Structure 1
Amino acid sequence: MKSALYLCLLLLGLQVQGQRRSNLNDEQQEQKIFHSQEDDFQDEGENLAHVKIAPSNADFAFRFYKQIREKADNKNIFFSPLSISTAFAMLSLGARSNTLSQLHKGLTFNLTEMEEQEIHEGFQRVLQLLNDPHREVQLSMGNALFIDDRLKLLQKFLDDITNFYYSEAVSSDFQNSPEAVKEINKYIETKTHGKIVGLLKSLDSDTVMVLVNYIFFKGYWEKPFNSLTTRDDDFFLDAKNSIKVKMMHQNKVFNIHRDDKLSCWVVEIPYKGNATALFVLPDEGSMNQVEDALLKETVSNWMQSLEKRKIYLDLPKFSISGSYDVKNLFEKMGVTEVFSDQADLSGVAEKTLLKVSKAIHKAMVDVSENGTEAAAVTVIEVVPMSAEFPPPPRIRFNRPFLMMIVDKTTHSILFMGKIVNPAAKED
């Protein structure tokens, strides 16, 4: 058995729903979220790399969700598939032979359909687009490598992670483990705007490198909820148990779809800027069949089937988080070698045998109205009366539902989850 020095991966995601009033914009240009590279993107010229990796990233998102669901034990789920796939794609730059093949397969990249270079160019473009300072949503995503002073990275690996993933390389003293933990936690806290604190508890004594990926998103609803209409209401955890939650309400036109085959409602609630949230409400007893059908084709079909319609919408305020042992989940998906003594990460560093000892992911979400600025404002809307037929449906998210946050510019699922109990703060 060969000895190995350890590499730790920390993957973070944070979405915060906005705390200020935004402008209303009723016309939101719909786009399909999972395009093939042949679709209408000529205006972006050669920067189509992100389009090519979008279907694979979507496949990975739903595959990973189903792994979490198996162990979730009827708890809330919330994670950033893009954070996880970006981190492991970056690591794959230093992987070789079967270790590399397993990573590609686990991330659902098919090298008969795209070249390895195109994968990294795709993530490079996603990072460029997400971090565009002119975006209306507050969105930042980035990577950092904390490297032990004793570890000599290969120049090509360093060049590639800097070029494709804009990764910061930070020299650290892992022999002083408490200080290194403190330094990494401080970095995480800063990049997540103080929302994820003290994530890393300790490091293995042999750790020589820690890879961190973070994504921070703060969006403002295009049509904010009026906090004066938020009221206490029942949320049904199951057929027998309910809890009281703060239920937000709107009576407006939304893009919605009724999927009779899967017995669920789909409601799109757009953010100001080119991002949107998709809320999926299965009929009572239909959650399992909707989850089983979660595939990129299903979601693409939902997005294409959305129609503008006035509805009575009830949506709970919630703030939840999810923490996951990605190593354990990846091993169940067949990605095992990178965590074992057979790992081939020979493209990372000179004369050092490396394997991944730990990969953890934490994500948080906070969904609310448009915040305190609107609390003292009363909005009275006057609309002409009309003989509406059929009457607007009332869609009440007062039982477990699914949520996806999609960035339309990159066709990426930034976050996804299942809200089983809106009042449960911790995973």
Structure 2
Amino acid sequence: CASSCSSSITGVISENHGGNGVENLGNVHHQFQKLLTELKKPTDAYELNIANKLYGEKNFQFLQEYMDNIKKFYLTTVESVDFNNAAEETRKKINSWVEKKIKNLFPKDSLTSTILVLVNAVYFKGQWDTKFDKKNTVEKEFWLNKDTSKPVQMMKQYDVFKFSSLEGMQAKILEIPYKGKDLSMILLLPDEVDGLQKLEDQLTAEKLIEWTSSQNMSDNFVDLYLPRFKLEETYDLKDTLRALGMVDVFNAQTANLSGMTGNENLLVSKVIHKSFVEVTEEGTTAASSTAVDFQMKSSPAYPFHCDHPFLFFIKHNKTNSILFLGRVSSP
């Protein structure tokens, strides 16, 4: 499975929460504004598009203050559409806006009786700083569990990478930089074929930051095997968000989005997330000096063979932000 970290959707909802919700959020909106501005800086090294869009029923009135705030903090606007009389046309319109890589975000007949749709689209295409040589790609077995395997196209690279062995976690971690080195893919590989669940159970954002810090990871010569993979998943995040404590907005009795409209007759009915990630020899559709290089080659290479389930993260290095994360259990 794969997921883009579309926390800005939660932020947009938080921005319109009535009562003291915005006060409790502190400067979170300013932080999102700062992050989105940083991520949108033009570059030739990779393509990264992050966009938010709101589609509101044309007969529903939204407060000007709310519209000003989402434009300021989340770089988005509300577009008036006709959900009541042209739901299918509106569905096609929304899907068209995100269809560069995400096909059919909303299935047919999914937008009847809708007042507002919040859409977050994230698209990333980057080339590896050092590409994998296609001539080295071979068919190898990927172990789904201790008893079952499947043949996959396994890419190979023998080079210097930032690497660390996480002894207490029975896992190891590797960073593969993208061209320009503003972004990297982080691979988190358990030592055991069936060790991923244990690793996921102990994983936290704080631990990931610690593991990927310059104090923990160092340049080492690594024998890397990484399968080509393509992941496309669709999720209804309603239950997930409820489990994280976002409960009131889904309940007609407790929802208070008066900061958006001036009244309390609005609630969130569904949150759909769809993601697409493809990894090849060229990169993702997600330098050492001579002296150091010589020293590394004189040392034994660390094996990093992703031939069993592992986690990956695509990270923006300057802001230390995770843009995508996913689990590869059957490439």
TM-score, scaled to structure 1: 0.70
Tell me, in whole angstroms, the C-alpha distance in 1 between the residues paired with 2:170 and 2:133. 30
Provide the residue aligned with 1:88 in structure 2. Answer: 10
Q: Partner residue of 1:266?
A: 173
Q: Which residue of 1 aligns with 2:29?
A: 120
Is 2:223 aligned against 1:312? yes
Cα distance in 1 for partners of 2:199, 2:217 equals 17
Q: 2:92 aligns with which of 182, 192, 199?
A: 182
Counterpart amino acid of residue 249 in structure 1 = K
Q: Is the 8 A contact 1:237 1:243 kept in 2?
A: yes
Change beyond 3 A, Cα 1:263–1:386: closer
Counterpart CA distance in 2 for 1:240 and 1:358 is 39
Matches of 1:352 and 1:147, distance apart in 2: 16
Deviation at 1:388, TM superposition (A): 3.0
Which residue does the alignment assign to 1:197?
A: 103
1:395 maps to 2:307: no
Partner of 1:332 in structure 2?
Answer: 243
- The 5 A counterparts of 1:47-58 are none
* Counterpart residue number, 1:33: none
The residue type equivalent to 2:235 in the other structure is Y
Describe how 1:260-409 pairs up with structure 2 within 5 A. 260-273=167-180, 274-284=182-192, 285-304=194-213, 305-341=216-252, 342-351=254-263, 353-370=265-282, 388-389=298-299, 391-409=300-318
Residue 243 (1) aligns with residue 146 (2): no
**Corresponding position of 1:163:** 72
1:96-136 CA distance string (max 9 Å, x none): 238x38xx9xxxxxx4xxx62x2111111111111111362
CA distance in 2, matches of 1:256, 1:130: 26
State how far apart, in whole Å, the 1-side matches of 2:208 and 2:126 are. 21
Residues 73-152 of structure 1 aligned to structure 2 (within 5 Å): 77-81=1-5, 83=6, 85-97=7-19, 100=21, 111=24, 116=26, 118-134=27-43, 136-152=45-61
Structure 1: segments with no counterpart, 5+ residues: 1-76, 105-110, 372-382, 423-427
Cα distance, 1:169–1:393 mapped onto 2, change above 3 Å: same
Percent identical among aligned pairs is 33
SS state at 1:292 partner: helix
Deviation at 1:150, TM superposition (A): 0.2
| Alignment pair present for 1:227 and 2:134 | yes
Q: Distance in 2 between matches of 1:386 and 1:125?
A: 39
Deviations 1:243-291 (A, max 9, x none): 0100000111111000111111111001112011110110114323321
Alpha-carbon shift at residue 306 of structure 1 (Å) = 0.7
Distance verdict in 2 for CA 1:158–1:386, change over 3 Å: closer
SS in 1 for 2:261: coil
Displacement of 1:393 after TM fit? 2.1
> For residues 158 and 313 of structure 1, do their structure 2 counterparts lie closer, same or farther at Cα, with a shift above 3 Å needed?
same
Residues 162 and 220, structure 2, Cα contact 8 Å, conserved in 1: yes
Q: Distance in 2 between matches of 1:210 and 1:387?
A: 54
SS in structure 2 at match of 1:186 = helix
Q: CA deviation at 1:213?
A: 0.9
Q: Distance in 1 between matches of 2:123 and 2:297?
A: 45
**What is the alpha-carbon distance in structure 2 between the residues aligned to residue 310 and residue 290 of structure 1?**
24
**CA deviation map 1:20-79 (0-9, x unaligned):** xxxxxxxxxxxxxxxxxxxxxxxxxxxxxxxxxxxxxxxxxxxxxxxxxxxxxxxxx210
Q: Please say which of residues 129-138 and 317-326 is displaced more in the overlay.
A: 129-138
Calculate the aligned-residue CA RMSD, in Å.
2.0
> How many residues are paired up?
315
Aligned residue in 2 for 1:10 = none
2:60 matches 1:154 = no
CA distance in 2, matches of 1:250, 1:134: 26
C-alpha contact (below 8 Å) 2:257/2:263 kept by paired residues: no
- Structure number with the bigger relative contact order (C-alpha 8 A, sep ≥ 6) is 1
- Residue 385 of structure 1 and its aligned partner are, at CA, apart by 10
* Distance (whole Å) between structure 2 residues aligned to residue 293 and residue 384 of structure 1: 37
- Structure 1 position 91, deviation (Å): 1.3
Q: Residues of 2 paired with 1:326 and 1:356: CA distance?
A: 11
Cα distance 1:253–1:293, how it changes in 2: closer, same or farther (>3 A)?
Answer: same
3-state SS of 2:168 partner: coil
Residue 212 of structure 2 aligns to a residue in which SS? Answer: helix
Structure 1 residues 286, 197: CA separation in 2 closer, same or farther (over 3 Å shift)? closer
SS of residue paired to 2:260: coil
SS at match of 1:238: coil
User: Is the Cα contact below 8 Å between 1:324 and 1:360 reproduced in 2?
Assistant: yes
Q: Which runs of 5+ in 2 are unaligned?
A: 284-292
The reply to whether residue 210 of structure 1 matches residue 121 of structure 2 is no
